[in-house]
Each structure stands twice: as C-alpha cells, then as structure tokens.
Amino acid sequence: MRIFSGIQPTGPMHIGNYLGAVSQWLELQKQHECFFCVVDLHAITVPQNPKELELATRNKVIELLATGISPEKCALFVQSQVPEHTELAWILNTMTPLGELERMTQFKDKAKKQKTEVFAGLFNYPVLMASDILLYKTQAVPVGQDQAQHLELTRTLAKKFNSRFGETFVEPKTILKKEGARIMSLKEPRKKMSKSDKPDSYLGIFEEPESMKKKIMAATTDTGKEIKFDEKKKPGISNLLTIYSLFSKEPMQKAEKKFQKKDYAFLKKSLAALLTQKLEPLRKKKRELDSRELYVKEILRQGQNRASSIAKATMQDVREKIGLLQS
C-alpha cells in the first residue's frame, strides 16, 4: 500500500506522540511505500516566529530519524519543499463547500483558542491536508482520532473531483491508532498528554533523564495505595502503568503484577529507570544527527525528489483535466 502521513514541526516530540503516531509509522515503513512529511505549511496556520519555525522543522526531521524512521525505507520530506501541495490546495479550495469546513471540530476548537485574529489559513487547513494526501494517490493514512474528520473530507473531495473531471484521485482509508496508546497528561491524567500544556505535564522523548525523573516523581496520582489499572478510579496510576507496559513491551497484567504489593513511589522510580534506559539510544542518535547537518540535508533532498516526481505527475494531470492552459 502507499501510505502518507504528516506531523507538525512545532513542539518537541513527547512520549504520547511516540507511542501513538511514530511507533505506528515505524511499523508501517517495514512493509509499505511510505511518505512521511513534516508539515510546516500547516504550522503557519497559527502565527510562528520565523527563526523558531526553521529550527523546529529541522529538529522534527532529526527527531524522526533518531526514533528510527529510515530514509532507505520511506520518503521523509518537508511539505513546503514540494510546492505542488499548495497548488493542489488552491484548486481543491475552489471545490470545497464552506459548509464542510464550518463543520470541522478541530477548526472550531483552534479558532476558540486563538488569542488574536483567526485567519483564512486555519479555516482552509483541512483542504491543504487533503491535498497532501491526494497528491500521492495515497491508499491509507495513519492518524489519530482527532484527524478522522479531515480524512472524511479528503474522501469527499476526491469523489467530487473524480465525478466532475474523471477518475483522478484515490479515496484513502483511515488507519486509526491502536487502542491503548492514549497517553494522558502527568498533571491532569484525565486529559490527553499535549505539548501545548505546561512542560511538567509531558515527557519529551529526548529529555534529559534527570528532568524526566523529576516530572515522573511529581506526577499526579490517585487516592488509595493500590497499584492497579482502572482508568475511571485511578487515572494517574493507570497512565503510569500504561507507559510502563508500552515501553517494557510487557502486557498490562504482567506490569500490574510486578507492582502489586509496591507503593506509588516504587512504580514511579521504576518507570523513570525504564525510560532512561529505553530512550538512551535515541538520545544518542539525536546528538549525532544534530552535528551532521549535511547528511540531514541530503536525506531531505532525496525525500523531496521522490515526493516531487509523483507530485509533478499528478499536478500535470490535474491541470489538464480542469482546463488550465498548458505551456
């Protein structure tokens, strides 16, 4: 299958992103033709500092490589380096009913959070996402539940285009993240872990062990003393157990058993030790990549080339079909 997925450059990668999206990408790249894209043009739908955006984009590429995304197995590239994404987005915008965009729950949430004005780019965000996907005739897209509605719009737009101009785009399937990969905030364990919350509520994948340990020891726990998995009554402990079980690759029951007669502090210390050990190779790889600027550039150039050749062919076809004068 041909797979496409995107990740925003802003914010450091945290264990929620890693156990959710990235671990799935790592699995998919083994068997499928994958296009993984750092979506800088999506990031600017809310105001960004130019210098920071550039650094964050490069950093996200390095983070992905350090976690094991392999340039031999997939095309890893930056969205703005393949200008066909924006060209197709414009064209699809001319066929997207306003009503469809007004329904998008993510737009409504983000617009509410915006302290200043809300710009047209934020409203049209799902159309750019549809273009990312359709440009490559993608068959399946791994995403979180929060993006499922955008995938539905993508299929609607593909159908619309195809019925008006003839068979052009493939309607992509949604691959939803596996259950059990929902990592919650350390401070408010009933809320999803998010990089837009305070730093003590999430654990960065490349964070120093000391800082990680501090955050884990200060994580919100629940009343009582017992360590068992019960999301309703024990959201804090259940979250720590989930992280433990996913990183140790032990089933939940086995993890529960291990901590059966122990106290909360023991669980927290064990989790900190486990994360330090499991993430050390990733931290090392990242340090190495941080110093190899040319190598990283070369990987992106190859990714751009592979993406471009498909994107150009699709756009040529689209331009002809909609009646743009050929040069």
> Looking at the annotation, which residues are catalytic?
110, 192, 195
As given in the structure block, the two tokens for residue 17 are: 């992103």
Q: Which of 76, 92, 141, 205 binds ligand TRP (CB under 6 A)?
A: 141
Is 13 one of the annotated binding-site residues?
no
Relative to beta strand 2-7, strand 173-176 is unpaired
Helix axes 264-290, 209-217, angle to 10 degrees: 150
Taking the CA atoms of residue 240, residue 244, residue 245 and residue 246 in that order, the dihedral angle to the nearest 10 degrees is 100
Q: Which 299-318 positions form the footprint of ligand TRP (CB under 6 A)? A: none
Q: Does 66 participate in binding ligand TRP (rule CB under 6 A)? A: no
d(CA 81, CA 118): 26
Closer CB to ligand TRP, 130 or 241, in the complex: 130
d(CA 23, CA 21): 6
Closer CB to ligand TRP, 39 or 271, in the complex: 39
Q: Which of 143, 216, 243, 318 binds ligand TRP (CB under 6 A)?
A: 143
**Phi, psi dihedrals of residue 323, rounded to the nearest 5°:** 90, 30
Closer CB to ligand TRP, 79 or 270, in the complex: 79
Q: Does 5 participate in binding ligand TRP (rule CB under 6 A)? A: yes
Residue nearest to ligand TRP (CB): 6
Which region among 1-9, 94-102, 216-224, 272-280 touches ligand TRP (by CB under 6 A)? 1-9
Q: Does 4 participate in binding ligand TRP (rule CB under 6 A)? A: yes
Closer CB to ligand TRP, 39 or 78, in the complex: 39
Q: Does 23 participate in binding ligand TRP (rule CB under 6 A)? A: no
Is 9 one of the annotated binding-site residues?
yes
- Distant-in-sequence, close-in-space partners of 254: CB < 8 Å, separation ≥ 6: 245
d(CA 327, CA 324): 9
d(CA 85, CA 280): 36
In the complex, the smallest distance separating the C-beta of residue 93 from ligand TRP, rounded to whole angstroms, is: 15
Angle at 206 between CA 307 and CA 209, to 5 degrees: 170
Annotated binding residues for ATP: 8-10, 16-17, 144-146, 183, 192-196
Note the residues at the interface with ligand TRP (CB under 6 A). 4-6, 8, 39, 42, 129, 132-133, 141, 143, 147
